[in-house]
Amino acid sequence: MSIVAVPGSKSVTARALFLAAAADGVSVLRRPLVSDDTDGFAAGLETLGYEVERGPDAWRITGRPAGPAAAEAEVHCRDAGTASRFLPALAAAGHGTYRFDASAQMRRRPVAPLTEALRSLGVDLTHDEAEGHLPLTVVAHGIKGGAIDLDASLSSQFLTALLMAGPLMAEGLRIRVTGIVSVPYVEITLAMMRRFGVEVGRDGDTFAVPPGGYRAQDYPVEPDASAASYFFAAAALSGRSATVPGLGTDALQGDLRFVDVLARMGAEVETTADATTVTGTGRLSGLTVNMRDISDTMPTLAAIAPFADGPVRIEDVYNTRVKECDRLEACAGNLRRQGIRVETGRDWIEIHPGTPAPVEIACHGDHRMAMSFAVAGLRTPGTTFDDPECVRKTFPGFHEFFAAVRADWGV
């Protein structure tokens, strides 16, 4: 059995950075993820005038409930969806003029549901080029708050950004959600807001966020469940055992539910109070599974699906088409190049059993393509990648880390 100490959660780190910046006092984040996305988020806070002190095992953030210290700033969000969606909402609650831009990849991803919601709250916001996309400029005069409708069917990050900004609004915020995806990520947000002193009321599809602000916290960041999925899948595929400490029954992240999918396919899963273990049994069964709420793990399952004894059909994952790349088609394209029969629809992919050929995987600049097909490479020696270093977005050093686990397993 291998003990796999995966890095901290990207989702938790990004939310903690926002909440700490908005809180009254100095917060300490323990074992945050250090990656390109989180570095970009922290750098964005610094550009806005927040004090961020980054040590090797902990980051200290001095909060400013009144908003950014800088009266003007240009923030580059790199490839990070969290920074691109969360930071404009944080800045809008302050006072100043702030421009947000990002990489070409991130510019292609939508932000319209968020920016339309902010405009409906009276925020002076302009898309500088393509409507509904970065770059955008916010001229902030604080936000009164009120009631809005929001479509979060493309990304739960739009809802999270508004929920976290709600306590900074003079009258709080009431959000009626007309569509939503990745609900577990919203549950992370609500739990973390509670930890920072704000209790969000919920009645069906309506969220009520009270005004009043946040209290600084000493906050431990749990390991990244999406990153853990690669090692759990590798164990199931290779007949080995992987234990990830820090992801137990009280874990915040919904992506830990990926182990339930592996259990349905035949792997043995044990979850205790402080760890989860997956052990491969030498077989993988085909299945049909709805992955709407754990869609970041869709590529992990797609990459190992050819090794199942029957078709693997993944449904309700349209939102994966508007991630770092069109993940549904990227998975299908790579699998077809490996000689695997694949069908796709608007929001589904079906993968048939086969023996994948070793090819160069097209990563499309997407960290999850590289890491998912690295797992499948356990059974397909000779697999290579056109952009292996794209993993730096969320897991710098992944390939070396994965190689060490493989060596420990003797595979």
**Cβ-based neighbours of 395, under 8 Å, separated by 6 or more:** 6, 7, 35, 224, 227, 367, 371, 401
Query: Is the pLDDT score of 357 beyond 90?
Result: yes
Q: To the nearest whole percent, how much of the chain has pLDDT over 90?
A: 99
What pLDDT score does 319 carry?
Answer: 96
Tally of residues, the chain: 411
Each residue of 301-318: pLDDT tens digit? 999 999 999 999 999 999
Average pLDDT over residues 48-73: 97
What pLDDT score does 155 carry?
Answer: 96
Average pLDDT over residues 112-122: 97
Average pLDDT over residues 169-179: 97
Check for a shared fold between 10-210 and 225-409.
yes
Contact between 318 and 290 (Cβ < 8 Å):
no
Task: Provide the b/e sequence for 34-69 (b: ≥16 CB within 10 Å).
Answer: bbbbbbbbbbbbbbbbbebebeeebbbbbbbbebbe
What pLDDT score does 278 carry?
Answer: 98
Each residue of 89-106: pLDDT tens digit? 999 999 999 999 999 999
> 135 preceded by cis ω (within 30°)?
yes
What pLDDT score does 165 carry?
Answer: 98
Domain boundaries of the chain, sorted by first residue? 10-210, 225-409
What pLDDT score does 359 carry?
Answer: 98
Each residue of 253-295: pLDDT tens digit? 999 999 999 999 999 999 999 999 999 999 999 999 999 999 9
Whole-angstrom Cα distance, residue 395 to residue 393? Answer: 6
Q: What element of type H or E holds 51? A: strand 51-54
296 annotated active-site: yes
**Cβ-based neighbours of 377, under 8 Å, separated by 6 or more:** 383
Average pLDDT over residues 236-260: 97
Contact between 22 and 65 (Cβ < 8 Å):
yes
Architecture of domain 225-409: Alpha-beta prism (3.65)
Q: To the nearest whole percent, how much of the chain has pLDDT over 70?
A: 100
Query: Is the pLDDT score of 1 beyond 90?
Result: no
Contact between 304 and 325 (Cβ < 8 Å):
no
Predicted TM-score (pTM) of the model is 0.96
**Which entry of 79, 255, 296, 366 is annotated as an active-site residue?**
296
CATH classification (class only), 10-210: alpha beta
Contact between 375 and 405 (Cβ < 8 Å):
no
